[in-house]
Amino acid sequence: MKMKTMNISLTPDLADYVRKNTAEHYGNASEFFREMLRERIRRQVEQDVAFLQTTSAEAPPGPNAAELRDVLAAQRAARKELKRERRFDANVLAGAVCWNGDPWHCLIRLAQREVFAWGTEFTLEETRRTCLRLIREKRPKHNALARLEWHMSNVRTIEAAPLGKPRSRDAGDDPYLACALAAQARFLVTFDNDLLDLGKPFGIEMTTPAQFLRFFRH
């Protein structure tokens, strides 16, 4: 694994503490700091997963086929509101927010730092509007809004990459592909057949949440 070097400044007391612990428990100072960071990340993962689990009470399984049609309709309505034809797709996050099915388990993988989610200014706004519309329509009994807010605070933002030409049958899907390309993503997780039918554009695999989760099981 390629390592990056960082210089840090410490007070004399902290420097003495690092030297003492390095001598007693670690081979070098770098391993001391790596272990400290690993422990901090582990605690953050536990906190994030525990928080998301608090939103699970009374959340239904799904979405089923009919509910998925509602999700895609909400996404189209949100896209229309943005007055544009425009790495989870908005429909996957909407599924994770309102139900406890495969999209929800993808969100848990994000909390566990097994995957990272990326978004552009446009895709994040479409995601937010899609989820809020669905929450208003479905009135879920669980805390769906907390799931949405957690995701929006943990997604990484990036500028869209140029695609050169339209790629999807639905031009409104291209911003998600442009986001995945900019992030050098391996997967774009979606329920949208227009994206799924693209196969593997730019080496990015178009996959459903269920297919994506099977990748981890194998």
pTM of the model: 0.80
Q: What is the pLDDT of residues 57-107, one digit of tens each?
A: 889 999 999 999 999 898 888 877 765 433 678 899 999 999 999 999 999
CATH architecture of 65-217: 3-Layer(aba) Sandwich (3.40)
Residue-level pLDDT at 216: 75
Q: What is the pLDDT of residues 115-154, one digit of tens each?
A: 999 999 999 999 999 999 999 999 999 999 999 999 999 9
Residue-level pLDDT at 184: 93
Domain boundaries, the chain: 12-53, 65-217
Q: Which of 135, 137, 138, 168 is nearest to 149 (CA)?
A: 135
Q: Is residue 34 over pLDDT 80?
A: yes
Residue-level pLDDT at 3: 67
